[in-house]
Structure 1
Amino acid sequence: MPEIALFYGIRITMYYDDHNPPRFYVEYNGKKALIDINDVCVLQGALPSRQLKLVLAWCVIHQDELMQNWELAKDGKPLNRINPLV
């Protein structure tokens, strides 16, 4: 599961050959969540409120890049790093 971003202790990853809807995985301090890229919402899991707000804002900013990585992952190609939230 390649890491595509890391910021403020928040790790963002994406699986190869994952199923729809387009999604990415988030880990922070032992908490995990699955985020829908298109709807920018939590599909499963939970994060602390502050970290969730950061992740969702980051998702909106990088939605196009996340979708590009989703397509690359479906094709089994290397994923691109995405700039962290600063």
Structure 2
Amino acid sequence: MPIISEFYGIKIMMFWNDHYPPHFHAEYGENKILVDIESATVLKGIFPSKQLKLVLAWCEIHKDELMTNWENGKGNNQFIRINPLI
């Protein structure tokens, strides 16, 4: 699964031709979540509170880029890297 961003030990990834709704995967250590892009909400999984807040804030900031990547993935096109939180 391609990593599209990394920050503070968190990896953000997307699959090509993944199921709806538009979402991304995030990992922090052994913790994994699926995040709905449009609503910036967790669809599945558990994250530590601090890291969850970072991921959801990042999602809100980069929503347009995430949706571009989602569309790229549906067409089996290359994902773009998205800037991390700094």
Name the TM-score, length of structure 1 as normaliser: 0.99
Matches of 2:67 and 2:60 in 1, distance apart? Answer: 11
Cα root mean square deviation, aligned:
0.4
What amino acid sits opposite 2:35 in the alignment? I
Matches of 1:19 and 1:30 in 2, distance apart? Answer: 23
- Return 5+ residue gaps in structure 1 as ranges: none
Matches of 1:50 and 1:73 in 2, distance apart? Answer: 29
What amino acid sits opposite 1:54 in the alignment? L
1:70 alignment partner, SS class: helix
Matches of 2:19 and 2:44 in 1, distance apart? Answer: 14
Shift of 1:29: 1.2
Shift of 1:34: 0.3
Alignment match, 2:46:
46
Matches of 2:80 and 2:46 in 1, distance apart? Answer: 25
Please list every run of at least 4 consecutive aligned residues from structure 1 whose deviation after the TM superposition is greater than 4 angstroms. none
- Return 5+ residue gaps in structure 2 as ranges: none
Report the count of equivalent residues: 86
Identity, % of aligned pairs? Answer: 57
Matches of 2:58 and 2:23 in 1, distance apart? Answer: 14
Matches of 2:74 and 2:2 in 1, distance apart? Answer: 13
1:26 equivalent to 2:26? Answer: yes
Matches of 1:30 and 1:52 in 2, distance apart? Answer: 14
Q: How does 1:56-71 map to 2 (within 5 A)?
A: 56-71=56-71
